[in-house]
């Protein structure tokens, strides 16, 4: 029984190393993705800023044009009113009145258009200001994340190197046939590879072990595999009772 327990302990220790290695390597893959997402978000903001700035430029030009047209036609109306007092011909009088009326209607339309345009321009300016603030904030977050990530990845790299050495030592302590079974399962299944059986249930797949297999596990004579998930299994009470 003691040899069996020692083998279980060695495999559990090996698995602890492998579990941490998996977590660290996953972190090395996932961490840059956050940075990439921030950069993509920043790029999208730059595009939005360019779009809004183009919109503001266009609205500003339209505003200047409308204001200029309103001012010019207002001057024409004033001049026409001054000339109107000097007109002696009824036909010419009515013609000037129609012209003034048309100019006034056109200016009212322009003023309404200008009012809507100014409202739109104010909205775009607000969006631009908010987006600029978000952009600066995101730039700061990106710079901070980059600095933190560089430091974290360096620490992870160093820790992985340590664990790889620890794994070599741990593997050397496990009999070759058992290590081969362990590595075979590890390459084909999600972690963990070796799990306990608790109350006749495999804690890897949570399916009951057949009665005869459970009897064999309780004997503690050899390391068996779960009939369902194929993970290496051991009876929890054997390990917990000898783990101190």
Q: Which residues contact 236 (CB under 8 A, 6 or more apart)?
A: 196, 197, 198, 203
Residue 198 has φ and ψ, to the nearest 5°, of -115, 120
- Do the Cβ atoms of 100 and 148 come closer than 8 Å? no
CA distance 210 to 228: 10
The pLDDT-based confidence of 1 (bands split at 50, 70, 90) is low
> Which tokens go with 7?
């083998």
pLDDT band per the 50, 70, 90 thresholds, residue 244: very low
Question: Residue holding tokens 């339309």?
Answer: 109
* % of the chain exceeding 70 in pLDDT: 98
What pTM value is reported for the model? Answer: 0.63
Identify the helix (H) or strand (E) that includes residue 155: helix 90-172
């Amino acid at each position: 029984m003691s040899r069996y327990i020692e083998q279980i302990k060695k495999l559990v220790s090996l698995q602890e190393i492998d579990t941490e290695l998996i977590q660290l390597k996953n972190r090395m893959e996932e961490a840059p993705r956050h940075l990439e997402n921030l950069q993509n978000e920043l790029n999208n903001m730059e595009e939005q800023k360019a779009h809004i700035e183009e919109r503001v430029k266009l609205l500003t030009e339209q505003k200047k044009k409308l204001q200029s047209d309103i001012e010019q036609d207002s001057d024409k109306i004033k001049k026409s009113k001054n000339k109107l007092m000097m007109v002696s011909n009824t036909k010419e009088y009515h013609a000037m009145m129609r012209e003034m009326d048309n100019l006034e209607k056109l200016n009212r339309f322009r003023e309404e258009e200008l009012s809507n345009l100014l409202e739109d321009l104010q909205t775009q300016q607000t969006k631009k200001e908010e987006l600029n603030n978000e952009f600066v904030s995101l730039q700061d977050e990106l710079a901070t994340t980059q600095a933190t990530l560089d430091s974290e990845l360096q620490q992870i790299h160093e820790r992985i190197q340590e664990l790889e050495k620890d794994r070599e030592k741990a593997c050397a302590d496990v009999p070759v046939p058992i290590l081969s079974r362990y590595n075979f399962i590890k390459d084909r299944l999600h972690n963990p590879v070796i799990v306990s059986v608790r109350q006749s249930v495999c804690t890897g797949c949570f399916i009951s072990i057949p009665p005869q297999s459970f009897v064999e596990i309780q004997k503690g004579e050899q390391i068996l595999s779960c009939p369902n998930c194929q993970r290496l299994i051991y009876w929890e009470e054997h390990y917990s009772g000898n783990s101190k």
